[in-house]
Structure formats: C-alpha cells, structure tokens
Amino acid sequence: MPLLGGIRPPIALLCVLVLALAGLTAKVLGPAGEQLVPEAVLSSQQHFAEDGAIALRASIDERVTDLDRTAAALNEGSPVEPERVLSDLGKTYQKWTGTTVLDVESGKVLAARGETIPLGWLDKKVLTGDKALLPRMVRLKTGDVRLMTMAVLDWKDRPQQLLIASNSLSVPNVTLGQFRSMAVVATGGEILATAGFEQSEALNSDQERKELTFVQKQMSKLSAQAAKETEQDPVSAREPGSRGYPGVSGTLLGESYNGRTATAGYASLASSDPEEKKSVGAGLGLTVVALLPVLQQHAAGPGRELYGLLAAGALVLLGLIAVAVLWATVQRPLLRLFLESRRLARGDLTRPVAVPRWGEAARVGSALERLRAQLGGAGDEPADRRNRRTRFGVRGPLAVTAILLLLWCVPVGFLLNRTDDSVSIPSAMVDDQRDRTDLVADRVRRALNEAQADMVSMSRLIDADDTGATRKVLEAALREHSRYQALYLLSEDGDVVARAGEEPSADWSGEEDLPLVRVAGKGGKKPVIQVGASVPDKKGETVVGEVRVEFLNSLLNRPGLGEVRVVDPKAETLAASDGFLAFEGLPRDALTDLVKAGGAQSGTGPAENGLLIREGRGVTVAAAAPFSGGGVASDLGWTVVSWQNAKEFQIAPYEREDRSILAGMLGLALIVVCLGWVFLVVARPLRALAASAEKLADGDLKTVHYPRYQDEVGAVVRSLELLRQQLQARKQNQARRLAEPQPVVRGR
C-alpha cells in the first residue's frame, strides 16, 4: 500500500503544519522582529527622498527645456540685442541666479545679469562632441555649486552667441521640521547642497546644538553610503518584477545619540524608465538624501514573548487533541478494516470480524462479518445489526477536529491584538505626512508658475499678425510640455486666432482684475485650469493654455502619502491622486476645517498643518499645505490636503494585529487543506464503500467493485471484489451440485 495515499498523509501533514504554525506564532507574536525604528518611519524617509529627487529632476529638466525653447524661438525671429535677451528672460522666469551672453569665437561677455558666472570651465568640449551643450556643475569661489545650462543663439549675418544660465542645485524650498535635513549628493559622496540645517541655526541650548552637530556628521557619513548605493543599475537594484520608484532608492540607519537614531532615505535622479532617458537631470549622477533623527521604539517586554509562547503552546495542545481524535476515530478503524478484509479475501474465515463501534467503518465491518458467515456457511446475521446506520459517520470526527482548531484560530486571528483609536502614532509619521504634503504643494505651485511663465515666454515670441508662425510656436510648446491639453491665442474679442491641441474648453475673460491662473468648468465633468498672459504691444490679445487635470493628478500620486487632493478656498476638489468628482467636497468635516484654517489645527492632534483624526476604532493621519512661496499660483488660495489610514503604517501595534490575523487565516487554511483532504480522500470513498459492501452482503453479486485509489479504502474494495468472486463461485458450485443426479442407494 503506497505511503502517499490514504489516511496517513493528511494526518501527518496536519501535525507538521500545526508545529510550523506554532513556531511561526511564537516568533511573530512575540517581540522578535521588532526594530528600534519602525519600518514605517524608514519607508517614509525613502519616499521623502524620492519626492525630492522627482522634484529636483523635474526642475532641472524644466530649466533646460525653457532655455532651449527660448533660444529656438529667438533664432527663428529677427536678431535681438543681448541685453534685451537677458531682460526678457529675467522678466519671464525668475529661476536663474545669473545669466550671461558671450561671443562664441572671442569668448567676450556681451551681457550679464544677476550672479557673476565664472567662465574658466568653458572649452571646446563644451560646444562640440556628443555631450555638447549639456549642463555642467561648476563650483563658485564661495564654495557653492551651480548648474550651468547653455543654448546657442544663431542668427544670419551675426556671429554665434552662447546663452548661459546658472541656478543652484537646491532641493525644493519647503519648510522642514526641526533637525530634518535634505542634501543633494554627487557621485563619490560630495555634498553639493543642503536644506534644513539653516532652520536649526537659531538653536540656543547646548544640547540642541550638540544634536545639530550629530545630524551634520551623520548626513556626511550617510550621504557617502547613499552615493555608493545609487551607483547600481536601476533595473538590477530591484527584485525582478517589482515596481515603484524607477530609480535607485532605499533607506540607511545611522548612529544613535540621546535616544534618537539617524534614519536616512536616498533616491537617485537616474531612472530605468525608457520615457525618462531624455531627462537631463537623470544623467547628472545626483542623489537626494533625506535625514531625520527619530526616537527609538521601546522594545516589547517579557509579556509579549510570553504571549507568543502561550499562543503557540495552545495551538500545539489543541493540534495534538485533534490528531488524536482523527487517529482514534478514522485512521485506526480504517486500518483495522483493511486488515480484516484482506484476511477474509485470503480465505481465513475462522475468526469473526472485529466490527468498529460506529460510523461507516461499523457498516463495512458488519457487511464483512455477514460475508464471512455466507462464505463459511453459517447463515446471515441478525437483522438489527445488518441494518445499523450512522447519521454523521466520519464527518463527525472531522467536525470535532475543525471545532478544536477553530478554538485557536478565531481568538488569535479576530479577537486578540485588536487595535483601536488609542494607538500611539509616532510623531515622525505625522511630521512626514506634513512635510511631504508641503513638498507636493510646492511642486504643484511651481508647475502652475511654470505654466504661466510659459505663456509669458510665448507671448514675447509670437507674431500675432502671422497666424502660421504663431501656430508653429504653440505646436512646438505643446510637443515639449505634457502639461497642456490646449494652447491658443485669443483676440481682443475673444476669438481664437491660432490654436494647438484640443478645442478651448472654457472662455477666457479679458478683465484685468482676474488672476492669470483661473478655474472654470463648474458643473462639468472635470475642472478646466487656465493660465494666460497678455501679448506685449497688442491690446486685448492673450495667450492661453489649458492645463490637463491628469497632469496635476500625476503630481499628487505618491506612494506612502495616502489620498491627496488639491482644493480651492471653498475646499472644493480640483485634482486628486485617486479619482474625484469635479468640485466635490472633502469626505470629512475635519479635513474641511483643516483646509479652512489655513493648514493649522490644534486640539485634535499635533499643531501646525498635521493632525490625527480619531473616529471609532480607526486613526487617520492628515495634513494640509496651502500654496506659498511666490509666483502667481501662491495667490490662488489653493491647498494640498492629504490623509491616510494609520493602519497602513508599519508600526508595532498594527503589525501585531496583522500578524495575529495572518496566524488566524493560516490556521483556517490549515483546517481547509488537511480536513478537506481527509473528507475527499477518505470520508466520501468510505461512505461509498459502506453502501457497496452492504449491497454485496445483501446478495448483489453482479456489481463489480473497482478500486479508484491505491489506499486503505481501495484495498478494502479489492478485497470485496475477491469476496464477491468467491461468493459467485460458491453459488455456481452449489447450483452445479444441485443440478447433478443424485446416486440411488439400493437396499440389501
């Protein structure tokens, strides 16, 4: 009889799985695996660095695109004096720290604005070769690093000129919490720019200054490690098939000081995404590092370890009882039937069959005893024993076993380790929600400012009298920027003079008191966000661009931040990370109050623009960041608000609850697999066997019995077939003897 079939394998598997689940329970429900710094805090630092890297890369690419587009538009028009070029460039964009125009042949500076740009780095390699006109990083005498962006101005009958614009390699200018810092790191670990340290310069106490010194040292050390980590290829740095940030990102743990551990997240600007291969920022080899010292998490006490051991011990005890029930009520009677049937099939009819007490095994045993009696010529059994039936049979022990295991699965999985609204959320998580929301708000504000600056740039380059040339400028801008769904030039009467992209979705009013960034489309399917700029020297003519709502939605969709929305001063939704109805309100009154309070809320959670919303058994971490920082978008009164369920955080209470649920679900899976196996392989075939044995004992000798499985039940079926053949042969012999003539006995 094969060892892989029958009743033994599922019972053995049940023993193994119970022991394995008990060991897993003792490990995961105790303090094992709990870190001094919650995994949620580490993941948040990684996401923070990714947000900074995305913003920095977009900023670099945007500056290069703006300068190239401005130079291309100037080259197509009439020659412009260098001073006029820099003047118009400065009025349109306020993103460069310094601009210069120089003669390519002589190297003479023709015009300069803003910060003085050193020219010692210029050589023939900058203007020729495969890497011609690519941005260069240059260190000033002050020690600061500047990114130099270049474009060639080329007019007929004039020598070529080189337009150079410099800007700092700074991370987004957002408000960072105390001791939170960010850095831009070059290949090799050199720190090019930092943010956050200047906000801690005003610390007064010696202890706070020592902590600042500790943070600065850790930033230098961890930045070198991060630069080394980001030298990997973005594809090989991740597990096969995994998604997420397209570049290289991760977390680092530093040293501890005064109960705080330095945690850092890093993210490279380089990406494996084919759509970003043209990114200039991705080719600079830069890395963004975000560092935050966090309070160490208290390790679980002995009670947690004892809890895990008690839960594991209870599972082992109930599992042993369940196995004993299956062994005594299913396995042992079935093996006894197998031995008895084989004995009868061999012709050993001397001893009565040992009939089990109940269930299908009792029915089969009774049928075997009747067959033994028939083969031995002892007649049939009494009717009361022959017709004995059991209602539940093997299903009864299976139900008892399931109940025993459920006595452990249900309490562990669904009753113990349950969390409520009293769970303590680490303050670092609230700070991260606030700071990341502020970073997203800064990115959206910059995107709208850039869009309006694009309109100003185009308004200075187009010729309103030449419709064909104007259309070409608009189409070129639409190809270069994915943020627009339509660009068009309006006349003083509001008629479309030239257009690129879709049809205008809303009218643009020429009133002077209206903002340059507007929202229309109320009552429609989605908001219409318009940016515009008046054409110089053309009264009433305006260049208008419609920003795609999908573009804003993509800026809000960041992992680990929950649901993010952009709302107007009335708290009506204009864009969202996860779908929305146009101009719908926020789902909770607490979020609306947070927005209307200008991002400041107290009483229900931490101050400033982060709070905890406790409702029922759940906790929600929320934050709001109004637009601020300059530009036309800062006057809109818009706010970025984000919120997420605290259960999504990888902190100890929620992890224990998840582990308990996992243990309970694994226990349920154990019940389904093992007991389902017994039911399908043993219980159902045994019921069919009992019915077949009783029919055979009642005299059905025509039905042939075929074993379906090579196990105990199959062995009993084979024995029944042999007994059927023996009975059939016996019956034929008796009929033959009755048919033969009897000899006549003569008397003397």
> Reduced to 3 states, what is the DSSP secondary structure of residue 576?
strand
436 and 338 in a common domain: no
583 and 472 in a common domain: yes
Provide the token pair at 267.
């993210």
710 and 585 in a common domain: no
Mean pLDDT, to the nearest integer, of 140-157? 85
Positive or negative: CA dihedral 67, 68, 69, 70: positive
Query: Domain range spanning residue 98?
Result: 57-139+147-167
Residue-wise pLDDT tens digits, 426-465: 777 888 888 889 889 988 998 898 898 888 888 877 877 7
374 and 346 in a common domain: yes
Q: How far apart are CA 466 and CA 448, in angstroms?
A: 28
**Band of residue 391 on the pLDDT scale cut at 50, 70, 90:** low
683 and 617 in a common domain: no
Q: How far apart are CA 17 and CA 515, in angstroms?
A: 68
Percentage of the chain exceeding pLDDT 90: 16
Count other C-beta atoms under 10 Å from residue 650's C-beta: 16
* Four-point Cα dihedral 211, 215, 216, 222, nearest 10: 160
715 and 575 in a common domain: no
Mean pLDDT, to the nearest integer, of 724-730? 83
- Whether residue 563 lies inside any domain: the answer is yes
Task: Please say if the pLDDT value at position 620 is more than 90.
Answer: no
- Per-residue b or e along 204-215, where b marks 16 or more CB atoms closer than 10 Å to that residue's CB: eeeeeeebbebb
pLDDT in the model for residue 668:
94
Name the burial class of residue 2, with classes exposed (0-12), middle (13-18) and buried (19+) by CB atoms within 10 angstroms of its CB: exposed
Q: What is the DSSP letter of 548?
A: P
Task: Please say if the pLDDT value at position 274 is more than 60.
Answer: no
Mean pLDDT, to the nearest integer, of 354-378? 81
411 and 435 in a common domain: no
Count other C-beta atoms under 10 Å from residue 292's C-beta: 27
Which residues neighbour 123 within 8 Å (Cβ) at sequence distance 6 or greater? none
Mean pLDDT, to the nearest integer, of 104-117? 87
Q: What is the reported pTM? A: 0.74
Q: What is the DSSP letter of 330?
A: I
577 and 491 in a common domain: yes
524 and 406 in a common domain: no
**What CA–CA distances, in Å, run from 119 to 60, 107, 144, 149?**
21, 9, 15, 13
484 and 369 in a common domain: no
Residue-wise pLDDT tens digits, 56-86: 888 888 888 888 888 887 887 788 888 988 8
What are the φ and ψ backbone dihedral angles of 455, each rounded to 5 degrees?
-65, -40
Number of domains in the chain: 3
- Whether residue 300 lies inside any domain: the answer is no
Give helix 427-461 / helix 39-76 axis angle, nearest 10°.
10
689 and 617 in a common domain: no
pLDDT in the model for residue 42:
86
Mean pLDDT, to the nearest integer, of 183-201? 78
The answer to whether 355 and 362 are in contact (CB under 8 A) is: yes
Q: What is the 3 state secondary structure string of 90-145?
A: HHHCCCCCEEEEEECCCCCEEEEEECCCCCCCCCHHHHCCCCCCCCEEEECCCCCE
Q: Which of 233, 239, 143, 150 is nearest to 192 (CA)?
A: 143
585 and 528 in a common domain: yes
- Whether residue 403 lies inside any domain: the answer is yes
**Band of residue 241 on the pLDDT scale cut at 50, 70, 90:** low
- Whether residue 464 lies inside any domain: the answer is yes
Residue-wise pLDDT tens digits, 519-559: 988 888 889 999 998 888 777 788 999 999 999 998 898 88
Decide which of 621, 650, 679 is a domain's last residue: 650
Count other C-beta atoms under 10 Å from residue 424's C-beta: 9
Residue 112 bridge partners (DSSP): 100
CATH number of the domain enclosing 66: 3.30.450
Mean pLDDT, to the nearest integer, of 395-416? 90
- Whether residue 97 lies inside any domain: the answer is yes
pLDDT in the model for residue 128:
74
Positive or negative: CA dihedral 595, 601, 605, 608: positive
The answer to whether 167 and 161 are in contact (CB under 8 A) is: no
CATH number of the domain enclosing 559: 3.30.450.20
- Whether residue 233 lies inside any domain: the answer is no
